[in-house]
Every structure is written in C-alpha cells, then in structure tokens.
Amino acid sequence: MPQRRYSPPGDFGRFGLVPGLTPAVKWLLIANGVVYLLELIVGRSAGGLDFLYSHLAISYERFFSGELWQPLTYMFLHDPTGISHILWNMLLLWMFGTPLERFWRSRGFLRFYFVTGVGAGLIILLVGALAPSQRAIPTLGASGALYALLIAFGFNYPNALIYLFGLFPIKGKHLVMLFVGLGLLQSLTLGAGNVSVAAHLGGMFMGFLLVTGTWRPRKAGYYLKLGWMKWRYRRLKRKLKVVNKDRNDWLH
C-alpha cells in the first residue's frame, strides 16, 4: 500500500486545483457522472430510485441477505435531488486525487481509493450492527474514499498550500485537521442530518491505516511501543521537574 511521504514546494494554485486530469481520476469522474445521469433517469419512474438504492446503496438487511457488492457500488451513487452532493465530492476527487495519482501512479491510487472506500462501507455496516437505529436509511456516496484521500494528502503534502474558495490559504496538514475536527463534531452532535458520519470517520480511519502502514501488525506494534515510550518519557520528565523544584526550594 502507498506509504511514501513527500513535501513538495509551492502551492496548488489560486483555487487549490491541480491543472489537468490524471487517467484514473478522469475515469472515476466519468463513471460517477454516468451513474448520476442514470439516477436522474430512473428517478422519473415510480419507485425507481427505491429499487436502485435498495440493491446498490449500503443496506444493512440486504447486505446480510447476500448482496455483498454494496460496499463497492454505494461509492458511485449520489443524491439526485440536488447537484451539491456529487459536485462537492467530484471537486474533492479532482483536487486531492490528481496529485496523489501522479505520486502513486494510477494502480496505487486506485488500490488506495477502492480499499478505503470499501473499508469505510464495512465500517458503516459495523456501526449498523452496534446501533440498530442507523440501519434504516441506505448509505450512498464516495465520501468514505474521499476522506481517506484527504488524510493521504495531508500526510504526503503537509506543507502544500490550498486556497479555500480561492481566497483563504491553508496548509495541507491544517486542512486535514479541520476536516477531522468537523467529522468528530458531527459525530458528537445530532445535527448531522442525512450525512453519514460513519462513512466520513470510517474513511479517515482507513486512510490513516493505509498511509501509515499501521494495518500491518508489526507496524501497529511499533507505533504502540513508540506511544508508550513517549508517555513514559513525559511522565519521567514531570517527575524530574518536581525533584528539581524541591531541590531549589531547599537551596534557598
């Protein structure tokens, strides 16, 4: 899995966009656009969208009834009642997918995109198993894979400047922190509406696992050991400060 880290100089243009389209990103944009048009056409018939979503979006009951393809197909569906859902997702795919595909090459990029997207779908099903109230509405959209791309972008391009709305410069690592914070805030409030918080957080979790390599047991053990050593170091440092303070008081 892609794990290299690289901090290129400069920024990504006034609007935070990389000029041109890489092959995999281009075909993903086309595939999502074609499926969206299909949704608009099917939506004109009574019950058409319900049938489409019940079989292609993530539905807890139907997945465990044998429709195991849903964690893959849900990534290509978007809300046809408005343009904002697909427009925002495809904008993120263009912004962050293009530099990552150039860095990883098409095969590595597609592997990361689909593994994290499917992984986020499985996390949605896990949340449904733990919280039955989350099973009622089918889940659709590419947000899981896109949030994973955002995490990967922050790790590989931490100092690259992105201009939000073409006006506000923000570094890649700070943009990741912003989105992670928003995702956590949504999970702690009831105002998420129709937003699948499980997909967002699941995508970020999968992206972190793959881009850092912590999905490997040996690498995970290394990070756990490193975290434990840092905790021990900070604790010892606090104890030394207390001893030094007591010694200074005694000298006075």
- Mean pLDDT on 80-95: 88
- Mean pLDDT on 123-127: 90
Confidence of residue 179 (pLDDT cuts 50, 70, 90): confident
Residue 248 reports pLDDT greater than 60: no
**192 within 8 A of 186, measured Cβ to Cβ:** yes
213: alpha, beta or left? (left if phi > 0; alpha if psi -120 to 50): left
- Mean pLDDT on 172-194: 70
> Which CATH superfamily, name and number, covers 23-215?
Rhomboid-like (1.20.1540.10)
Residue 197 reports pLDDT greater than 80: no
**154 within 8 A of 162, measured Cβ to Cβ:** no
d(CA 39, CA 2): 33
- Mean pLDDT on 54-76: 91
pLDDT for 4 equals 43
Q: Which residue has the higher pLDDT, 154 or 197?
A: 154
pLDDT for 109 equals 95
DSSP string spanning the chain? --------SSBS-TTS--SS--HHHHHHHHHHHHHHHHHHHHTTSTTHHHHHHHHHSB-HHHHTTT-TTHHHHGGG---TT-SHHHHHHHHHHHHHHHHHHHHHHHHHHHHHHHHHHHHHHHHHHHHHHH-GGGGSS-B-SSHHHHHHHHHHHHHH-TT-EEEETTTEEEEHHHHHHHHHHHHHHHHHSSTTTT--HHHHHHHHHHHHHHHHTTTSHHHHHHHHHHHHHHHHHHHHHHHHHHHHHHHHHHH-
Tell me the pLDDT tens digit for each residue of 4-32. Answer: 433 343 445 444 444 578 999 999 999 99
Confidence of residue 237 (pLDDT cuts 50, 70, 90): confident
Confidence of residue 221 (pLDDT cuts 50, 70, 90): low
- Mean pLDDT on 123-131: 87
The overall average pLDDT reported for the chain is: 79
- Mean pLDDT on 28-54: 88
In total, the chain counts a number of residues equal to 252
